[in-house]
Each structure stands twice: as structure tokens, then as C-alpha cells.
Amino acid sequence: MKPLQAYLIGFRIGDLRVRKFYKNSETIHVDCGSTRREQIELVEKLFDKYGRVWISKPNKKGVIQVECFLNNSFEFLLKIDQNSIPSWIMNNKLYFANFLAGFTDAEGSIFISQNKAFYALGNYNLKLLRQMKKSLMLFGVESRKITRSVRKGFIASHGYKYNSDYWTISISRKKELMKLFTLIEPLLKHAKRIKDLKAAKDNIVLRNQEYGE
């Protein structure tokens, strides 16, 4: 159960809102909205065996809302500090791998640019990314320096002002990517992430054949 909890915590921090409708409610309400059908299908798959799941029709902007109604066994998602990773996850390779897979499914990107494979995690919480970077290093995966995208004060396309800058961890070295993929590949659940990871691995294999390791 602990590995699944770690995955769900990663996914929750990345993309889920979790709450109770009132203090003594016996129902945990989990929801998110997305324009990507794969994301909605994943949330449904994660929770439909545990409770009722409701999915809306797309709104005018193409956003689909998914809501899940769960019992108090999912209260651990409610108690999570979204600004930090629990120590029991950070210091255990299996639990961290599951957490990272969950966060990657929610917020990560695996892509090819200029014929090079990349992995990136972005978030507004610098502390959270620093913790991820620390655990990646602990388990043998080196990442680049965390970079900042200046957004604080700017107005986004949705009309709201950014309250903080955006931070990104990225990995592009072939050796480090393959170590990372070995860590998370069996644990990913998002259809697009799985497909993108396979394409990234194929890219690395081809580049190794052409240029050497």
C-alpha cells in the first residue's frame, strides 16, 4: 500500500485538489480539470474502484472536470503538505520512485527537441523541486541546475496574475535519462507519458548507435 500511497501523493501534489465538504464528512472529495482526455481517464482509473467518479462534458474551452468521492481511507491525501515531500518518501528508493512517477504523470514532460530526448519537471514551489533534486541525486540520477522562468506579476492567458516565478528541473544527458527511466518506467500510469518515454528511449538508442555512448 505504501508504494501506491507514494504515487498518489506525487500525483496529488502535481494535479489534484483534495478536500472535505465539511469538517466531519466521511467523504473525501478529489477533483481536477484538464483539456487532455488521457489525464481524465487516468484519474478515473486511479479511483473508480474505490468510490464514485463523475466526469463532466467539455466546457467551451475544452476543459473536462473529473470528481471522485472516496472514503476516509484516502484521508492521507488531505493531510499532505503540498509544499514538501514526506521524509519517508524522500529517503526510500521504492517510495520515491513511485512518488516521482505520480508527479511525472501529473506535471512532468518527456519530449524530443532538436533530436535530443529531455525530461522536465516544473512547479511554482522551489523547495519542492530542490527536495526532488536531492532525492534524485541520492538514488544516482544527476539533474541540471534548477532554472527559473520569471512570471511573478505577469498576467496569464487565463486572466489571472502570477503570484510567483516558475521553476524547472530538467535532465538531458543520455546516461542520466536512462537511469531515471529505469527508476520510473514500470510505475508510470499516464498513457502519454508512457508513450513519450518509449520514444525518448528509442531516441537515445539511435543516438548511441550513431555517436556512441
pLDDT tens string, the chain, 213 residues long: the values are 899 999 999 999 998 999 998 888 889 999 999 988 999 999 999 999 999 999 999 998 899 999 999 999 999 999 888 888 999 999 999 999 999 999 999 999 999 999 999 999 988 889 999 999 999 999 999 998 999 886 665 555 545 555 678 899 999 999 999 999 999 999 999 999 999 999 999 999 999 988 777
Q: Write out the E strands in the chain.
A: 17-19, 28-34, 52-55, 64-70, 108-113, 116-123, 147-149, 166-171
Instruction: Count CA atoms closer than 13 A to 208's CA, side-chain side.
Output: 13
- CA dist 140 and 89 (Å) reads 16
| CATH 3.10.28.10 boundaries in the chain | 2-79, 87-211
Grid cell for residue 66: 473529473
118, 169 Cβ separation under 8 angstroms = no
**CATH class label, 2-79:** alpha beta
Residue 145 CB-density burial (10 A; 0-12 exposed, 13-18 middle, 19+ buried): exposed
- CA dist 120 and 180 (Å) reads 11
193, 185 Cβ separation under 8 angstroms = no
37, 133 Cβ separation under 8 angstroms = no
Q: What is the CA radius of gyration of the chain?
A: 18
In CATH, what number does 87-211 get? 3.10.28.10
pTM: 0.90
- CA dist 110 and 171 (Å) reads 10
Residues in the chain: 213
Grid cell for residue 4: 501506491
